[in-house]
A and B are shown apart, each in its own frame.
Chain A
């Protein structure tokens, strides 16, 4: 594979070839079985000596590919054969103090050495180690054999400082480990930074070798040449082979470095000088037989003849910071290259398998794949595994590879098990090829107090950090779950997003919470960062919240903070937030800001009591806020352009929802009012229905005694709606006689009053007026007839078409329910239809975009239904009288017998008692009587009430349906 491929070219090319020859010796060294091990070992040493020249003693230089299982196995064999007196590893020397932890029971790779600047944990670097990393193998070997262990790379104190210096020039720059011989050195990167950019062109030595050998993928060449070799059981002569292989590989690198110099790795000379110094030091202290495990790229440099003085000179004047080191758990996902700044291997899961499998790696691997697919419900039998193994082996033979590699096995899995589809294959790649292993660090490892507190709480709440994302359902009525929820909320306040709140599936209810949990290794850094706020999770969260409350200027931000405070159960921080909130609310007069802030606050008030927190103070602020919005809203609506109106419509909707939430909380005293409202409404023989009809009879009951009418008498036209609002009050119950106060009913009625004022002011944008009318209609405050009248007004020929169209958008657009309203309320449909038909041709093109925007938001079903209705000529001519005709598909009259059949079920649903049923029956009798009296026997379609209820499942039900009384 050499001569044909390598064209005669530059000196570099030839150097690559020479290096390849050396590397091939490494690959072929396995053939020397039979030669006594010692001889080979000695031969290797001789080679080293010969190649190295007068160096600092004769260390065993094990140049490896970081995270290569083959390298790792070879390192173990080499160490077994060589028996060094001291083991030196490329890594920050500060870690010497904590390396002993690696031997402890609780330590499970993948883990990483985390180095961060004291007092600034965000400036950090990682040296990840997997179970199949050569460094990890060497560490464990040294600890098991009681051999001293030293890290010899540039201290983190320097590298972190250097990293900071570079930041100005090239962003969060690479720390010295990154651009290593094999592009995947114990990878160091700023926790927040991306992979190094290309400030200098750096060569990938492996790529050069692979290219020379005719491989397009350096990883693959390395696998074939090194990793897949000698997977047999360890033996002494294999140990010697390993030593020889390392020697040859070092030679290859030496040739490469002759050609390429430092290959673009500017900081390498400094690092290597430090390595040499540490190496000499170690040899002085522990004897000559030292073994060095480092990136293959560094081997020639470590063998180079330099003077101590020269090395010292290189190291002079390096910037320095105070660094702290710790072990942190790591994950396979982080090791994978695709995760951004990982250590740079594609397939940690595959490598771990290769390293751990005692024998028959291919068969075991494909069995694993089959089990995974089976667990996911894909039928895969043993026969599939057999065929996949055969196919993978055939592929490997065809591609001329010594052993089926990952590419072959995945191709086989795709063809045999996945029926050619890539979807299940993606699962295999995610779960097995990369894997979701999360390392563990023993408790005795040094950690910040906050970390310990988190661990303690985690344990008592039985929450396990897992690398795989999973969903957690919490029932807040249980103590443990409530505790979990509080912990997760506090962590979120501290910017440690272990859990993200998710939308509950299926289960609704304020006592339920759903979280998506996923522990990422960076979270360890976040914990270290958050440690400045306190020593316990609760204390830190409270301190951070208080400081945030002081610095937040936006009202919405403050209310959101208050809500999160309640969720996290931070009672001590709440007063501070509330104070800030009250101050800010008093100063802020912008209705938009107030309206933005209200929803979060309303939620906090509403759900606060589910968690047993005190919400009274909050409710006070919230109600105050709402009042100020009510007052300011009509003014704020004036003189808006289209965009402003759209924005404000969103605010109006939000406030409407918030008021719905606030009202029951404020009226908590007379709980259950909303339930009794229904029965009140149905029994109040006609008074309410009078109040809401538009026949001009300013009604007898509601308006006079409710006391709410004063809020809605801005102009003459609004008297009807004032009555309507009052009627609603009346419907909500007699408990209301005490007059307005901090009471849910009055809050709601005042909001209704505000909306009514909006509806009747002609100088406001149509969008807002339409929206207000719709909200009132949905709440049943605005009767249907009144709604029809208002709509008729808004759509009169005198109103410019553009304005009318935006009214229609406000009234019918927005939420999904708009379409169903038109389907069920023929009168409104007739109005719209009539208006539309009457628009002059010139105006039509102007309103078309607005209309299209409105109607395109409807569900296709609703759109089609409307279309059918119109096509059938149902709502013809815009004359409301036609609406009294039966709906298409319905009989002309209500079939009482069939309608009665649903009543028992309805009663069960609504939980009525017998007394109410009697009332209902009374009422039905009365109505029957009336029907009989009424010759025309008109029946309004019963539809409208139903969809409206669905649209606003608010606490106040729509008033009972009324008969149409001409």
Chain B
């Protein structure tokens, strides 16, 4: 059913395609023991995510910028066949890390269940092809396996996105899978047993914790890794520039001269509003209702780049990002608008060298 398309043509290629070269180089250089059905050793996977230089000179780009400990714990967890739960506020690269982990471990990041309020049990266990079912009765052929079931059978890494959005009773179907490592099919009197190499990565959102909190039985089956917000402004600028660069490439935006100053400014605005205090720690600010995550900063800059490339003079300027920032900050038209105006008038206006930015923001805010 899936239409195989060229990785080059995909709007957003899967990790295992986008970084196929790096994965291949790592696999070639990797001489450490690998768990069964793993494409790489845990050490190589950590390197794939954190970046580095191989002995043969191949440069591995960092996929995740953050504490090394987090990646190491995550990979080790998968190696111990415990399921991994990535927690964090929106935009802390949970999905990103999970995709790359799956790509590096199993070479396939597509065995994905997207958690929503309407995710049914069939999405996690299996469904039926009703035409087949009516015509021939229950049989293996009439069964439509879920991504989780397939990864169990093939010893791959399955992913569940936004676990806490899934209704509690559906969540609990995972318990048998994670503790017994088997999926019974009572209709056929059969079961699918997980083969070695199977594991599951789930992501969940801190902010939504109250929505469908995990039952303690399920929680016990996960090792939890909390992904933090970037620790320093420099690290965040680094993340934003890198991602913007990658996205820009895949969106085929024209190459732009160095816009890193503008990126730094976006990151600073986001950090200041998020932390509720200015960069120099002198002035307190109100925080808007949005999360202002790194991911949003990235999308603001990408949007700005597109503007600059197609409608501007090709240089990323304050005016290109102003509208994007406004959209990210002002989520609640009443309250956030005030916060934004205050920030503009008390902080931005006074700052040296921010005149253009102030003017651009005033323009879009009017």
Contact = CB atoms under 8 A, between A and B. Distances in A.
A381 interface: yes
Contacts of B87: 420
A414 B77 CA distance: 12
Interface string A395-412: 101111000000100011
Interface in A317-347: none
B197 to A, nearest CB: 15
B223 to A, nearest CB: 4
Contact of A415 (B43, B73, B219): B73
A391 B73 contact: yes
B72 A399 contact: yes
A397 B76 CA distance: 9
B156 interface: no
B195 interface: no
Given A379-B216, A411-B69, A420 B76 contact: no
Given A415-B224, A416-B223, A395 B73 contact: yes
B42 A420 contact: no
B72 A411 contact: yes
A586 interface: no
B220 A391 contact: no
Contact of B219 (A395, A397, A398, A419): A419
Nearest to B227: A420
Nearest to A397: B42
A395 B220 contact: no
A394 B76 contact: yes
B77 A415 contact: yes
B225 A398 contact: no
A381 B224 CA distance: 16
A391 B69 CA distance: 13
A420 B225 contact: yes
Contacts of A398: 42-43, 46, 72, 75-76, 79
B82 interface: yes
A383 B220 contact: yes
Contacts of B226: 420-421
Interface string A419-444: 11100000000000000000000000
Nearest to B45: A398
A596 B102 CA distance: 71
Contacts of B75: 398
A421 to B, nearest CB: 7
A420 B80 contact: no
Interface in B47-72: 69, 72
A387 interface: yes
A397 B72 CA distance: 11
B72 A390 contact: no
Contacts of B43: 398, 400
Given A415-B224, A419-B224, A420-B226, A387 B80 contact: yes
Interface in A274-297: none
Contacts of A400: 43
Interface in B17-46: 42-43, 46
B42 A390 contact: no
A418 B226 CA distance: 11
B283 to A, nearest CB: 21
A525 B46 CA distance: 51
A394 B80 contact: yes
A381 B179 CA distance: 15
Contacts of A420: 85, 87, 224-226
Interface of B: 42-43, 46, 69, 72-73, 75-77, 79-80, 82, 85, 87, 216, 219-220, 223-226
Interface of A: 379, 381, 383-384, 387, 390-391, 394-395, 397-400, 407, 411-412, 414-416, 418-421
30 contacts: A379-B216, A381-B220, A387-B80, A387-B223, A390-B80, A390-B82, A391-B76, A391-B80, A391-B223, A394-B42, A394-B76, A394-B79, A394-B80, A395-B72, A395-B76, A398-B42, A398-B46, A398-B79, A400-B43, A411-B73, A414-B73, A415-B77, A415-B223, A415-B224, A418-B224, A420-B85, A420-B87, A420-B225, A420-B226, A421-B226
* Minimum-distance CB pairs A-B, first 7: A420-B224, A420-B226, A394-B76, A415-B223, A390-B80, A419-B224, A395-B76
